[in-house]
Amino acid sequence: MKYNCALTVDCVVFKNDSIVLIKRKNPPFRGQYALPGGFVDEGETAESACIREAREETGLEVSNLTVIGAYSNPGRDPRGRTVSIAFMAEADLSKLKAGDDAAEAELVKNWQDHQIAFDHRKIIEDALKILSYK
């Protein structure tokens, strides 16, 4: 049996009614807002990958990770099949700055008014549902 998907992570960090988003530097979806995240390296846990990717793309040290869910729609990434584990996290936003493959990193208040890459809008909406249950 051949497996043909990569494992990725996405990180949701809220501050009041705003969310940390990056603007993608590279295709696909170059220039669009997206959640910080990326591919899980060999030998790395999903949690460690989430912490690393958040640091690389936003300069933030995230903590208190909570799983939002797993996202596996076969068409979620035009580069090929990926399955993402999405996490909510907390962070001190004073160090927010773009890095790695993020052209920009910012706290976005009206994220609903923007195009969001991949299936990240659904991930954000699912995270908000979890917060509303708490």
Residues classed as catalytic: 104
Beta-bridge partners for 12: 88
Of 93, 91, 43, residue with least CA distance to 64: 91
Backbone φ, ψ for residue 53 (5° rounding): -65, -40
DSSP string for 52-66: HHHHHHH----EEEE
